[in-house]
Amino acid sequence: MTLSRRMLLASLGAAGLCGPAAIAQGDGGIPLRQRAAARGLVFGAAAATYQLGDSAFASALAREAGILVPEYELKRGVIEPARGQYDFSGVDLLVAFARAHGMAFRGHPLVWHHRNPDWLDSALASRDHTLLVNYITTVAGRYRGHMHSWDVVNEAIDLNGGRSDNLRETPWLKAFGPSYIDDAFRTARAADPHALLVYNDWGCEAGENDRFRAVTLDFLEQALARAVPIDALGLQGHLAAYGPQVDQKKLRAFLAEVKSLGMKILVTEHDVDDQGGPYDIALRDRAVADASRRFLDVVLDCDATVAVLTWGLSDRFLDPEGWREKLFEGHPRRLPLDADLARKPLWQAIADAFGRNA
Ligand code: XIL
């Protein structure tokens, strides 16, 4: 599917190739992608095709992000709506935008238990292994050589699932047993030997989650002992400004253990929930920034870290639905730019973290 003219103009505008040039920023305004690149890392964000038609946002995204990940366009429910029928139109628009702005691109996810097409669960009852292998081969193979990294398996660990191996009872586990994880990574390696292969999850971040960190390390160690080609751990990085906090000492020790396995580390979906905060936006924004700083200072101090992505760049597209009962105006304020694309204290916290840990 070719890039539409409107999309192309939005892309060119965002690159400052037509329309108003990007507003000059003082030294303090060096974009996050440049701050990350200055120390050999990459910063970026999840984005969605519908957002690229918003030219002001597209410009901000091109300015700040050095890597993109599709928010939903690479979910299997979008990619394979009917068995064997693939639709890459959405993700290809994001790939075109990334290429137009010199950005890297990462894939997410190949194997997950959410956002699958309706036909998949019943098909998996057949235990037809091609449902796993053919999808990964087709999708990862299509972008062979062009992907920075792939979240091959997403959220496979479940401490409350009742299994001794702490694996989540997903349709994949039910159909193929624990070996689905090994097969997914081996198939992805064969499909794209150039991409970093990532195991992605959430739960290692908060200080109180000692058991999740221990189970994750054990999961990774055992996979490596089976020669499963997992190159990196993806920490989703979903934090809560008014919830369980990061314990820097515990996180530092955990990341050192991951590094000792020879693995890289990516922060794949960073945002900081401000629910439960006061009405005062300035106080909420500061709490969000402080929570991110506590986390990123430790993550960026580990030289196994290669990338930080936020799960969106601006509050503009966050769903305000869940906030009406909070009796105050506005949207969630989880991301680096506010709904008007202004940089927030969270943006500064990320900028400082790239500088402070250089
Ligand atoms: C979510 C997206 O934000 C939604 O737009 C989509 O409909 C469903 O997936 N952990 C993940 C992400 O790994 O894929 C999820 O993203 C958020 C939780």
Q: pLDDT at residue 3 above 50?
A: no
Ligand 1, CB cutoff 6 Å, lining residues: 71-72, 115, 154, 236, 269
More reliable by pLDDT, 325 or 204 = 204
Span from the CA of 136 to the centroid of ligand 1 (angstroms): 19
- Which band of pLDDT confidence, cut at 50, 70 and 90, is reported for residue 358? low
Q: To the nearest whole percent, how much of the chain has pLDDT over 90?
A: 85
Position in ligand 1 atom list of the atom nearest CA 200 = 13
Largest separation between any pair of C-alpha atoms in the chain: 60
Identify the CA nearest to 272 among candidates 299, 310, 321. Answer: 310
Span from the CA of 311 to the centroid of ligand 1 (angstroms): 9
Position in ligand 1 atom list of the atom nearest CA 46 = 3
* DSSP result, 221-263: HHHHHTT----EEEE--EEETTSSPB-HHHHHHHHHHHHHTT-
Q: pLDDT at residue 208 above 90?
A: yes
Residue-wise pLDDT tens digits, 131-153: 999 999 999 999 999 999 999 99
Span from the CA of 72 to the centroid of ligand 1 (angstroms): 6
Question: Are 221 and 165 in contact, with CB atoms under 8 Å apart?
Answer: no
Span from the CA of 25 to the centroid of ligand 1 (angstroms): 32
Question: What value does the mean pLDDT take over residues 20-46?
Answer: 78
* DSSP result, 279-346: S-HHHHHHHHHHHHHHHHHHHTTSTTEEEEEES-SBGGGS-GGGGGGGTS-S----SSB-TT--B-HH
Query: E strands within 104-188?
Result: 104-107, 149-154
Predicted model pTM: 0.91
Span from the CA of 18 to the centroid of ligand 1 (angstroms): 33
d(CA 146, CA 134): 19
Torsion of CA 73, 75, 79, 81, to 10 degrees: -120
What are the residues facing 149 on neighbouring strands? Answer: 106, 196
Residue-wise pLDDT tens digits, 57-107: 999 999 999 999 999 999 999 999 999 999 999 999 999 999 999 999 999
| CATH code linked to domain 5-356 | 3.20.20.80
Pocket test for ligand 1, best of 71, 150, 200, 309 (most atoms within 8 A of CB): 71
Span from the CA of 108 to the centroid of ligand 1 (angstroms): 9
Q: Share the mean pLDDT of the chain.
A: 91
pLDDT of residue 1: 40
d(CA 59, CA 355): 23
- Domain residue extents for the chain: 5-356
Position in ligand 1 atom list of the atom nearest CA 115 = 8
d(CA 301, CA 357): 6
Q: pLDDT at residue 324 above 90?
A: no
